[in-house]
Each structure stands twice: as C-alpha cells, then as structure tokens.
Amino acid sequence: MRTKLGMFATGVCLLCLGGVSGAHHSFSSEYDGTKTFKVNGVVSKVEWTNPHVRFYVDVNEADGKVTTWNIELASPSALSRNGWTSRTLKAGDKVTVDGYPGKVVPTRGNARSVLLADGRSLFAGTADDSDPAAAGTRQ
C-alpha cells in the first residue's frame, strides 16, 4: 500500500512540475532570431506579468486597416534591471518597436528595443540579445 501511495504521489508531483516547465517556452520555438521587424504604432494594452511582459501595438497599415501586434518583452525583473517600471509603457503611448518576428503568427514579435515618443530607447531583451547568433538559444 505504501509503495502504491508513494508512486501515486510521485506521479502527481511530476504532472504538476511538467505543467509548470511546459508553460515557459524557448525563444527559438516561437521567434525567428535570423530576421527582424520594425513597427510604429500606439500602445493599446500592457500586461506587466510573469514570465514575460507583453504589450499590444495598434499599427496603421497603408490600406487604412489597423493591425494589432502582440509584443513580448523580458520578465518584469529583467526589465526593471534595464530601467523599466510598470508605468514605462501605457495605453496611448506612441512607440517604435524593433525585434524578432514570430514564426507562426506574423503580428507577434519579441522586442529588442522600444523607442518612446520622447526619444528614449529602452533595451527590451535579455543579455544575450546583443549577439544575434545566441538569439536561438534563449529561454
């Protein structure tokens, strides 16, 4: 009985841990580190949450259509070390975003830098972002 209970408890723990580790993704599984994009637009929403901060940018296309980009940043703690606060970006801010495009969703990206309307340029990635060859190895 003890053995069965121990095996059950171990199984439950492994399932729980598997869900947590599976929730985080590698950079190379979602983004193309060999290409870059640049968009100009207006921030429509900011999600200052773990494991990555996200914000959404409404971009006016040449045909008059508005496309919303889903932009991923580093974690809140990494961004804080780079000078960001939860109030750095807010809805209505005009921004220019440079980053790596999504592999599957064309309007999704991982930002390298964000240029604010006041001229400040903020580093948005992780330390190995300065080396494009390492971009595919980020977690």
Domain with 87 in it: what CATH number?
2.40.50.140
Is 10 part of any domain?
Answer: no
Q: What is the pLDDT of residue 1?
A: 58
Any domain includes 39: yes
Domain contains 11: no
Q: Residue 74: its pLDDT value, please?
A: 92
Cβ–Cβ under 8 Å, residues 21 and 48? no
> How many domains does the chain fold into?
1
Q: Note whether residue 7 is domain-resident.
A: no
For 2-11, 25-34, 59-68, 124-133, which range has the lowest pLDDT when averaged over its residues?
124-133
Tell me the residue ranges of DSSP E strands in the chain: 37-47, 54-60, 66-72, 94-101, 108-116, 121-123
> Is position 95 within any domain?
yes
Domain enclosing residue 80, as ranges: 25-137
The answer to whether residue 62 is domain-embedded is yes
